[in-house]
Structure 1
Amino acid sequence: MTTIPFNEMKPYANEPFTDFSLAENKAAMEAAIAKAKSEFGRAYPLKIGGQMIETEAKITSINPGNVTEVIGLVSRANQELAEQAMQAALNAFETWSKVPASQRAGYLFKAAKLMRERKHEFSALMLLESGKNYAEADVDTAEAIDFLEFYGREMLRLSAINETQPLASIPGEVNRLTYTPLGVGVIIPPWNFPLAICVGMTAAAVVSGNTVLLKPASTTPVIAHQFVALMEEAGLPAGVINYIPGSGAEIGDYLTAHPKTRFVSFTGSKEVGLRINKLAAETAPGQIWIKRVIAEMGGKDGIVVDETADLEAAAAAIVASAFGFQGQKCSAGSRAIIVQEVYDEVAGYVVALAEKLQIGLPELNCAVGPVIDQISYARILDYIDVGREEGALLIGGAKASGNGYYIQPTIFGEVDPKARIMQEEIFGPVLALAKAKDWRDAIAIFNDTEYGLTGSFFSTDEDRIAEALDTIHCGNLYVNRKCTGALVGVHPFGGFNMSGTDSKAGGPDYLLLFTQAKLTSRKV
């Protein structure tokens, strides 16, 4: 497989989003949903070293918007099969790591082309398996395509740098710095971006020359299977990606602690991320390296609004950030910190906008759909009960009707900055509003959290904006726009503190995390 040299490629451009106000696009999505539903209940095997393996134990993937619908029955790996996958990945690494970077990138470009041709099919399956509406699913698929394109280009760029890395020169020597792959990695993506983040994490690792064990989230394993099948169709050699859904406690811990695991790439909760970091730090018998952990964990993200801001624009951003995909984004703005002199006005705008959100089936393209599963459903409702004790209920606060995990968009006002619903990640459609004395106090409240992923600052005062850019402590800070919606190559994504290792996905240094630098020096 050959590719165009990096210096001859067209400038990178993000995949466009679909306009579903156009009848033909809406009809195309409806047809894709019907096709996906016609395949409900299929069995999906493991994929290990080119073998398809059916197991008696299954993961049942259900539609969270209609829990009587079974998306698919997915084979569940145990430790024995996880070990088989590790050996397959080790064997494949011996050849894959030697494949030229341009050829590795070529597989990503081929996969991006195929996914682009079937964009609605991937979006429809994701909509049904994760509860995203049309726009949220379409954005997820577009981001997956972006990751394939971007990381393929990044590999070509790094490969060119390998040939021309600028080092200081001395007489009588030729010195060269190159980036080489690490080995076998464990990829543990989340359910909330079940295609985009799964694709991004996996593609970054394999295009860098590594082989991987992909353990998708147990709530969204079917969309991950379809991605693996796409990579196989693109011609990716057997054993480069090994698909092994299973229990985190059984195979996740086993592989994290495995002496042959070279790195773990994880996106998910703080608690699981810290456990992975701890397990990976222990040196197993026979291990000859320090394992690398690349982790994006959680957030308690917020939007700060001062009295000079465009208040209606700020309110729209607050609602979009809090309730997009039911607040189930690590970047979701679950806190709004508003200067007291405009607090009542902004709160009024926010409530009015939230009241207009329609709740219902994602396949009907409702603004608010279900949360992902029964565990999340129960946890979020518990947090709403906590919120009743910590603030004034302004809207919502209850279950919503439907044969799924539906919860009303919920807003609490006058919440103390130290309250649990201002400090703890809820990961659901729950928003807390806090009042600040002034804009600096608002920034101090924003920073008073163990997380530091995303944030927004709304103001028209340039001096305040300049100070906020320096003092608001988070990995992705936006001014006068919502705190969700990072674009690959435009907004490299990752956070501070307990939000993870600030590994900037979609950025120019991300692939380096999957490589190691080697200096060679030769006398001449």
Structure 2
Amino acid sequence: MTTTIKITPFTNEPFTDFTREENKRAMEAALTKVKQELGKEYPLHIGNEKVFTEDKIVSINPGNVDEKIGFVSKATKELAEQAMQEALTRFEDWKRVSPLERAEYLFKAAHLMRERKHEFSAVLVYESGKNWAEADADTAEAIDFMEFYAREMIRLSETNIHRPLTKLDGEANEITYIPLGVGVVIPPWNFPLAICVGMTTAAIVSGNTVLLKPASTTPVIAHKFVALMEEVGLPSGVINFIPGSGAEVGDYLTTHPKTRFISFTGSKEVGLRINRLAAETANGQIWLKRVIAEMGGKDGIVVDETANLDDAAAAIVASAFGFQGQKCSAGSRAVIVESVYDKVVEKVVELTKRLQVGAPEENFSVGPVIDQNSFKKILEYIEIGKKEGQLLVGGTKAAGNGFYIEPAVFADVDPKARIMQEEIFGPVLALAKAADWKEGIEIYNDTEFGLTGSYFSQNEERIAYALENMHCGNLYINRKCTGALVGVHPFGGFNMSGTDSKAGGYDYLLLFTQAKLTSKKVR
């Protein structure tokens, strides 16, 4: 494979401005094209085989439940084992492929995805219920991950061989990073393209082979990515696509003696289960399995009395209700200093009332939640919230043939209340009052999670205190707590938010490798 794409410095993929008529028309054309392809069947990819199974995962449009996005073949334990053997065989060849050649597959895939950006985004609109901007950002991030990790692999391959070690006369010493082996990649449904692409390509560009088990609610967009990698010539068996049950296929592969690592993004409960299962040593296992996990959050924004209140209110609403609050970084709680509490609450309510709920393909600001289970769970939390605070706006089912909920804002919520402590993963915002800015930070820290946070203030001493004392993996000052960019905001959290693996950062690829020191006696 020859290098055909020039390696340039990394820059983030720009977001599309849909207020421009030509961009709007292009997106509408992509939506029309994708809509005509709905209802297709998709196979497993095991080595060079395309396997269609009788048992299917049915992907449903959450914004129109009568619409089927696709029918995706469902793996069994037996097929998962077949995929494992293919991945093991391919690993022996793939680990010897040069880092530059591995990186070029990512460059080529990023190039093609950029050319078809709106088509990928259109699938996200239909399958995950994202509006145009959220879908466009998801696709842009997928492109960013491929571009960034490709460059990182080249950089590591060029520098690790010559990494400076303490010199010792009579010896030539060097440290290199080699791939781990076969990994299981389990991405989430909320960023079903970006995070799926990021997790998978980080593993393969580092020289590993993977078993990709996408989320059951969004398997079609994952298949589109796998097909793209096949199109650019990625050898069969490097990525094996095996959608299936977490309890069956997920557990089987997590406990498999040949699994070297598990890369997971999802709920705290599932992440803890994976960590526990991976810690058990299976018969024939000769290593400790590595778990790379991002498990969610209960993120929040603290506002003191010196803050720009308009900016703070806008950030609170954007953080809470972007993609219906279905982000692990979503600011589902805000802690506001008492002296400006009423003003901020008033502004938050006013902005929330402006949000319009409707079909994602029509580009409403708020779309559906992902499925019936989430819909039911969120409405149950809203009922809990009515007992724990004052419902100021929203909190009801919204019109439409899908899982639509009016964004809910609860005021005067006790910091220990369930809607202040538990991850809801929906359009529900809890507001709490603090006596002063320090108590606001204490309330923010009072959670088992530690993913993202934001502090609004114009006092530099307080900002310095917040930077040191707000305990989270990604802390932002005077901006919203969502919207991490690859290479700009390496992403990962503390406590029950996971292993703080910092996706999109300069250390991330090292998690998929192991360091090898070689020492040679010289004269």
TM-score normalized by structure 2?
Answer: 0.99
In 2, distance between residues paired with 1:121 and 1:164? 43
In 2, distance between residues paired with 1:299 and 1:171? 51
Residues 227-272 of structure 1 show CA distances to partners (whole Å, capped at 9, x for unaligned) of 0000001110000000000000000000000000000000000000
In 1, distance between residues paired with 2:282 and 2:358? 49
Task: State the Cα distance separating 1:9 from its structure 2 match.
Answer: 4.0
Is the contact between residue 265 and residue 293 of structure 1 (CA under 8 Å) also seen in structure 2?
Answer: yes
In 2, distance between residues paired with 1:72 and 1:501? 34
Is the contact between residue 492 and residue 507 of structure 1 (CA under 8 Å) also seen in structure 2?
Answer: yes
Task: State the Cα distance separating 1:110 from its structure 2 match.
Answer: 0.4
In 2, distance between residues paired with 1:50 and 1:142? 29
Is the contact between residue 77 and residue 245 of structure 1 (CA under 8 Å) also seen in structure 2?
Answer: yes
Counterpart in the other structure of 2:404? 406
Counterpart in the other structure of 1:52? 50
Among 156, 159, 162, the alignment partner of 2:160 is 162
In 2, distance between residues paired with 1:510 and 1:2? 27
In 1, distance between residues paired with 2:31 and 2:194? 19
Residues 448-479 of structure 1 show CA distances to partners (whole Å, capped at 9, x for unaligned) of 00000000000000000001000000000000
Residues 342-362 of structure 1 show CA distances to partners (whole Å, capped at 9, x for unaligned) of 000000000000000010000
Report matched runs for 1:474-493 at 5 Å.
474-493=472-491
In 1, distance between residues paired with 2:146 and 2:318? 27
Residues 314-372 of structure 1 show CA distances to partners (whole Å, capped at 9, x for unaligned) of 00000000000000000000000000000000000000000000100000000000000
Task: State the Cα distance separating 1:3 from its structure 2 match.
Answer: 4.1
Q: Does 1:339 align with 2:322?
A: no
Moved over 2 A (4+): 1-5, 8-11
Counterpart in the other structure of 1:443? 441
In 2, distance between residues paired with 1:457 and 1:416? 20
Counterpart in the other structure of 1:372? 370
Counterpart in the other structure of 1:297? 295
Counterpart in the other structure of 2:323? 325
Counterpart in the other structure of 1:250? 248
In 1, distance between residues paired with 2:242 and 2:8? 36
Report matched runs for 1:101-500 at 5 Å.
101-500=99-498
Task: State the Cα distance separating 1:91 from its structure 2 match.
Answer: 0.5
What amino acid does structure 2 have at the position aligned with 1:343?
Y
What amino acid does structure 2 have at the position aligned with 1:311?
L
In 2, distance between residues paired with 1:439 and 1:92? 56
Task: State the Cα distance separating 1:2 from its structure 2 match.
Answer: 3.8
DSSP 3-state at the match of 1:261: coil
What amino acid does structure 1 have at the position aligned with 2:27?
M
What amino acid does structure 1 have at the position aligned with 2:115?
E
Task: State the Cα distance separating 1:4 from its structure 2 match.
Answer: 8.4
In 2, distance between residues paired with 1:374 and 1:416? 29
DSSP 3-state at the match of 2:130: coil
Is the contact between residue 144 and residue 196 of structure 1 (CA under 8 Å) also seen in structure 2?
Answer: yes
The number of residues matched between the two structures is 522
Task: State the Cα distance separating 1:294 from its structure 2 match.
Answer: 0.0
Residues 3-51 of structure 1 show CA distances to partners (whole Å, capped at 9, x for unaligned) of 489xx94321000000000011011111101111101110000000011
- Gapped regions of structure 1 (runs ≥ 5): none
What amino acid does structure 2 have at the position aligned with 1:87?
Q
Task: State the Cα distance separating 1:293 from its structure 2 match.
Answer: 0.0
Counterpart in the other structure of 2:79? 81
In 2, distance between residues paired with 1:237 and 1:49? 9
In 2, distance between residues paired with 1:405 and 1:127? 14
In 2, distance between residues paired with 1:32 and 1:11? 30
DSSP 3-state at the match of 1:223: helix
DSSP 3-state at the match of 2:404: coil
Counterpart in the other structure of 1:95? 93
In 2, distance between residues paired with 1:213 and 1:186? 5
Task: State the Cα distance separating 1:164 from its structure 2 match.
Answer: 1.0
In 1, distance between residues paired with 2:119 and 2:218? 15
DSSP 3-state at the match of 2:415: coil
DSSP 3-state at the match of 1:258: coil
Task: State the Cα distance separating 1:408 from its structure 2 match.
Answer: 0.4
In 2, distance between residues paired with 1:183 and 1:219? 28
What amino acid does structure 2 have at the position aligned with 1:68?
D
In 1, distance between residues paired with 2:474 and 2:179? 28
What amino acid does structure 2 have at the position aligned with 1:19?
D
In 2, distance between residues paired with 1:129 and 1:299? 24
In 2, distance between residues paired with 1:82 and 1:266? 17
Is the contact between residue 40 and residue 71 of structure 1 (CA under 8 Å) also seen in structure 2?
Answer: yes
What amino acid does structure 1 have at the position aligned with 2:164?
P
Task: State the Cα distance separating 1:162 from its structure 2 match.
Answer: 2.3
DSSP 3-state at the match of 1:457: strand
What amino acid does structure 2 have at the position aligned with 1:428?
G
Q: Does 1:71 align with 2:43?
A: no
Is the contact between residue 205 and residue 511 of structure 1 (CA under 8 Å) also seen in structure 2?
Answer: yes
In 2, distance between residues paired with 1:304 and 1:379? 27
TM-score normalized by structure 1?
Answer: 0.99
DSSP 3-state at the match of 2:161: helix
In 2, distance between residues paired with 1:207 and 1:54? 28
In 1, distance between residues paired with 2:490 and 2:11? 15
Identity of aligned residues (%): 74
Is the contact between residue 371 and residue 406 of structure 1 (CA under 8 Å) also seen in structure 2?
Answer: yes
DSSP 3-state at the match of 1:303: strand
Is the contact between residue 2 and residue 102 of structure 1 (CA under 8 Å) also seen in structure 2?
Answer: no
DSSP 3-state at the match of 1:302: strand
Residues 422-458 of structure 1 show CA distances to partners (whole Å, capped at 9, x for unaligned) of 0000000000000000000000000000000000000
Counterpart in the other structure of 2:519? 521
In 2, distance between residues paired with 1:492 and 1:288? 32
In 1, distance between residues paired with 2:459 and 2:170? 57
In 2, distance between residues paired with 1:117 and 1:79? 37
DSSP 3-state at the match of 2:165: coil
Task: State the Cα distance separating 1:397 from its structure 2 match.
Answer: 1.5
Residues 134-192 of structure 1 show CA distances to partners (whole Å, capped at 9, x for unaligned) of 00000000000000000000000100112211101111100010000000000000000
Among 40, 43, 49, the alignment partner of 2:41 is 43
Is the contact between residue 453 and residue 496 of structure 1 (CA under 8 Å) also seen in structure 2?
Answer: yes
In 2, distance between residues paired with 1:98 and 1:235? 17
Among 489, 502, 505, the alignment partner of 1:504 is 502
DSSP 3-state at the match of 1:285: coil
DSSP 3-state at the match of 1:163: coil
Is the contact between residue 357 and residue 368 of structure 1 (CA under 8 Å) also seen in structure 2?
Answer: yes
